[in-house]
Structure 1
Amino acid sequence: MGWNPFRRAPLLHVANDVGSGPVVVFIHGIASSSITWTNVIPLLAPGHRCITIDLLGFGGSPAPLDAQYTLPEHVAALARTIRSLRLREPFVLVGHSMGGLIAPRYAARHPGGCGGSCS
């Protein structure tokens, strides 16, 4: 049995949420985790709120037994996680490698930028 798009997507692990200012959400590439951004966060955190998220099946995020790790699954989990952050302003979404495939798909499906949670 494959992933069911009608089932609630899992919440992903938010590894870092540091700094203040305009929000930047970082998603890593394949075979990695939010650790990818370890050297970037200190450079941006003085003027930005930096949030790093582990993708489905990576780092501290869940690895559901029925997941097929498709692009729609990753986007759904990312969207649920971003909604849970209750961001109140638009944000920048930065993706590396596989995250670079997920980020524009998320942006296309959520043109408001905040997954419906913007004021």
Structure 2
Amino acid sequence: MIRHLRPASARHRHWPACRRCTGLALDLGSARTRAWIAGRGMVLDVPTVTFPGSGAVHPVRRGTIVDTAGTARMLERLLGNRLPRIGRPLVVVAAPVLDGLAFRTAARAAVEVLRPRAVLT
């Protein structure tokens, strides 16, 4: 059986591979934070936790953002240097159905560290 392998540089390329990052979808869950990029699929699936000092802090609890600054720090650490500087992405944030305006306002404030073109919640 002959297998055609791509060069190592193509297999282990850091995401996003192209400079055109038109869309980013975020799911800020209580346990996991997930991110999808248009054309690439899921690119991030990590625990929702920050380490501001000596211990771990959970900025999202029971589906609600309780620490907006901590959530912004976490997003900057995870996604800040991986998004292209040229094109500002459209960011879609998954919001719980029963959460109202408070969640949407906190999510918009936290996502501003990514310099989005627009934020949809």
TM-score > 0.5 by shorter chain: no
Greater Cα radius of gyration, structure 1 or 2: 2
Normalising TM by the smaller chain, what interval?
0.3 to 0.5
TM-score, normalised by the number of residues in structure 2? 0.44
TM-score, normalised by the number of residues in structure 1? 0.45
